[in-house]
Amino acid sequence: MRLQDKVALITGAGSGIGYHTALLFAQEGAAVVAVDVNDDGGQQTVKEITAAGGRAIYVHADVSSAADCAAMVEAAETTYGKLNVLFNNAGIMLSADDDAVSTEESVWDLTMAVNVKGVFFGCKYGIPALRRAGGGSIINTASFVALLGAATPQLAYTASKGAVLSMTRELATIHARENIRVNALCPGPLRTELLMKFLNTEEKKQRRLVHIPMGRFGEAKEMAYAALYLASDESSYVTGTEFVVDGGITAAYVTPQ
């Protein structure tokens, strides 16, 4: 098993990438701390893991809250004695997110609070735990939009993911000599509830699909396998990367005719 005897904390574990990653990490031997604000989703994730013979607990936490992030890390160490993998995955994409003229300040502030401050708080409280464990892996969910402009305006989301990417690079540099690796997972457009709610018309979906060489949306489970590599010792010399899993969109960005 690729994560045997490791303890992994995953935010946003109640759905999408977080859900599939939690199940996969557990299958690969990790004890999972599933974190979400959606109690039903998070508890269902834990139920599925334990039913399959895995180890998991659920922790309710709003990642934009410093106290909640401190508590989720404390729960990991109290329950399992250590923390080896921190997957700062929780994020939001609001339907009212648009261009600079149309996006309300409240949309901008909430997006930044969850997507950027949430990663900061995860690292603020998670890094001391990783130190106590002798090192480990941090994975921050960024996005392909951190690398190029989105065809459908989502300015707050794009800016937030750019911040996650730059934060990841700096953290990787700071902590490289402590055996703490920090990488950014940059998914392409995925068939998740988060994106499908944003691309809520067929026209919007096609506007995005036309740029993807593979011609399809990615699946959350495909991101889970990428996260597994970054979490495992197989990626022991990998830090500070933009781990792009995007169906080729950043390699061949094309303009529709």
- Residue 4: helix, strand or coil by DSSP? coil
How far is the C-alpha of 91 from the C-alpha of 198, rounded, in Å?
A: 13
Q: Which helix (H) or strand (E) holds 174?
A: helix 155-175
- Amino acid identity, residue 18? G
Q: Within its chain, how far is the Cα of 201 from the centroid?
A: 25
Distances (CA, A) of 44 to 7, 48, 76, 120, 221: 19, 6, 18, 27, 17
Catalytic residue, chosen from 58, 80, 157, 229, is 157
How far is the C-alpha of 175 from the C-alpha of 129, rounded, in Å?
A: 13
253 is catalytic: no
- Residues involved in catalysis: 157
